Amino acid sequence: HPLAMPVFFFLLSAALIGYFGIKMTYIARELAQASGLGEAFTGAVFIGAATSLSGIIASVTAASQGHASLAVSNSLGGIAAQTLFLVLGDLIYRKANLEFAAASVENMLMSAQLMLLLCILFVAFTLADTSFFAIHPASLLLIFTYLFTVKMLVDTHEKPMWLPRM
């Protein structure tokens, strides 16, 4: 059957991603503790980047082949799906409501970071086709905003100005 091999390799890939995703979680926790960077930063930057590799590759490939809508919708769909998957985490985490248990300045800052990045992207959709050296100014603003908010995240972890009450 012509679908047998593609389905097999898809399922095998999904199983490997699942296995190594679990392993990566344990390693990231050790890294967070050993480095002092904190779980929120380690999860957002290291696990976030690693688990987004397939989406990054798919979007870059789609863009390089001239499929702009596919490149953008892949990224936005990935964000929406990962946000929805918090429901699964909430069902599995039995100590308390997951969002309440994870309440921290860092996680609140990352939520604000995500909203800000999405707002910049939304505004870019409404602007005229402007670019400098074939790069839209919003792309540069997205990079700057991401790096700035990651720096804020590190600073907040090292010296929180306030703490949420549990």
**How does pLDDT run across 70-110, given as a tens digit for each residue?**
999 998 988 888 888 888 878 887 777 767 776 777 878 88
Tracing tokens 């970071």 back to the chain, one arrives at 113
**Per-residue confidence (pLDDT) for residue 97, from 0 to 100:** 73
**For the chain, what is the domain count?**
2
Which residues 6+ apart lie within 8 Å of 79 measured at CB?
114, 118
pTM: 0.72
Domain range for 114 is: 103-166
**How does pLDDT run across 116-158, given as a tens digit for each residue?**
999 999 999 898 888 888 888 999 999 999 999 988 888 877 7
Choose between 99 and 62: higher pLDDT: 62
pLDDT category at 164 given cuts 50, 70, 90 is low
Q: State the angle between helix axes of 105-126 and 137-158 in degrees (0 to 180), rounded to the nearest 10.
A: 170
**Per-residue confidence (pLDDT) for residue 165, from 0 to 100:** 66
Residues 158, 118, single domain; the answer is yes
In a domain, 87, yes or no: yes
In a domain, 21, yes or no: yes
Residues 120, 166, single domain; the answer is yes
Residues 57, 111, single domain; the answer is no
Predicted confidence (pLDDT) at residue 166 exceeds the cutoff of 70? no
